[in-house]
A and B are shown apart, each in its own frame.
Chain A
Amino acid sequence: MARTRFPAEVLTPEGEVFSEEIEMLSTRTAVGSIGILAGHEPILAMLEPTELRLYRSETDIVRFAQAEGYLQFAENRALVLVEEAIAPEALDRATFETKLSEARTAAEQAEPDSEEKARAERDIRRYEAFLAVGS
């Protein structure tokens, strides 16, 4: 059964990557996974790196590997702001594998509780999420 559609926009600092009417949006916030349907109550959420899914219909799904960002749903419009959004087919696994191992080394070398450590761990989470989408 077709669901009610609502406009959704995905923006990155490098430009708009998606702007269409969709039936459902699914992503992951700092608290947990979230699915947004038309008429959802207004929300402002902080997003973790994960796979962003935009359902044009039950079977037609647009997927992106997303970095950290924010999701705002207000007045029946969804707005996703993410630092990076990469289509799975454009995702270069080799690059991110190198980056992941670099980040792991950095995390090991950094002092505990330091800003570098936190930064490296954030990078690890991001690259792991990207690679999970690409596989």
Chain B
Amino acid sequence: MASQRDVKNKIASVKNIQKITRAMEMVAAARLRRAEQRIEALRPYADALRRMTRQAAQAAGAEASRLPLLSEHENVEKVGLLLVTGDRGLAGGFNSQIVRAGVRISGELGEEGLKSEWYATGRRGVSSLSFRGYDLSGSYTGFADRPAYADARSIADDLIQAYIDGELDRVEMVYNSYVSPLTQKVTHERLLPISQATITGEEEGEDSEEGEQSGPKALVDYEPDPEEILKRLVPDYVEISIYRALVESTAGFFGAQMTAMRSASENAGEIITDYTLQMNRARQAEITQEIMEVVAGAEGLS
């Protein structure tokens, strides 16, 4: 049985670990709040951009389907997979579930005879993909804690360019979408080509608004032509989709880290209770031992 001092040392080190996990939990909670605010801040912009894109697409009419980002490639061979992960670990299954989903999707694509090209954001995703022996066509790291719009743009630029050049025939994205601090959902979305339905189709819940706008729409002035505007709106739409994924993933990461660190602190607490019990037993045993020795000594004298 471990001596009293050994157990005492163990308790001290577990207590130190618990202090660290508690601190990390609180830091993650604070950053989560900030990340949540950024999701909120983005929403009006993203909604307005989608409305404008739809309006311009309707005005452009048939011209719209000629834009390269809206037209499907005839022969689909290569699919770009963009995995959005965090830069750091200690967040439960947050990063590994994305990598696992990516590998599974790539397997499914393989069965259809399609080749996957890997793109990853976040150090964790980049390192675990290269560790598994996948070649990355693009890796973007160092901003997972606080993604800026420019980060999303550089990713979008690369993907759009690859799509237009015919290096990729389809682009899909896998990320943790933010549901609540406790839940992140692995989400699989198609980025390119943007389906016509996404842009021109009417979404549920927005029909009433659509109706209001249809009146003056015919009289709207476009500067320059709707097609020209659409040419820039469509890449922006891709950028904003990536940016949204990055921001949601950041919030999800802090949520996952907070949860992971909370259970780590709870586990540490349990271990401390166990060790304290063990230490008390060891102390009790030592005392009993001593008493028996004293009694035996006294008996020997009498």
Contact = CB atoms under 8 A, between A and B. Distances in A.
A11 B221 CA distance: 21
Interface string B26-53: 0000000000001001101110110010
Contacts of B222: 43-45
Contacts of B226: 44
A14 B149 contact: yes
A128 interface: no
Contacts of A115: 157, 161
Nearest to B46: A13
B300 interface: no
28 contacts: A13-B42, A13-B149, A13-B243, A15-B38, A16-B41, A41-B219, A42-B216, A42-B217, A42-B219, A42-B221, A44-B55, A44-B56, A44-B59, A44-B220, A44-B222, A44-B229, A45-B221, A45-B229, A46-B223, A46-B224, A70-B52, A70-B233, A72-B52, A74-B220, A79-B48, A81-B49, A81-B52, A83-B149
Interface stretch (A27-35, A56-64, A90-98, A103-111): A27-35
B53 to A, nearest CB: 10
A51 interface: no
Residue of A15, A45, A75, A79 with highest tally of chain B CB at under 10 A: A15
Interface residues of A, number: 27
B42 to A, nearest CB: 5
B228 interface: yes
Contacts of B55: 44
Contact of B41 (A14, A31, A41, A84): A14
Contacts of B268: none
Given A42-B221, A81-B49, 10 more contacts: A13-B149, A13-B243, A15-B38, A41-B219, A44-B221, A46-B228, A70-B49, A75-B212, A84-B149, A115-B157
A119 interface: yes
Contacts of A74: 213, 216, 220
A12 interface: yes
A70 B52 CA distance: 9
Interface string A16-43: 1000000000000111001000000111
B149 A44 contact: no
Contacts of B84: none
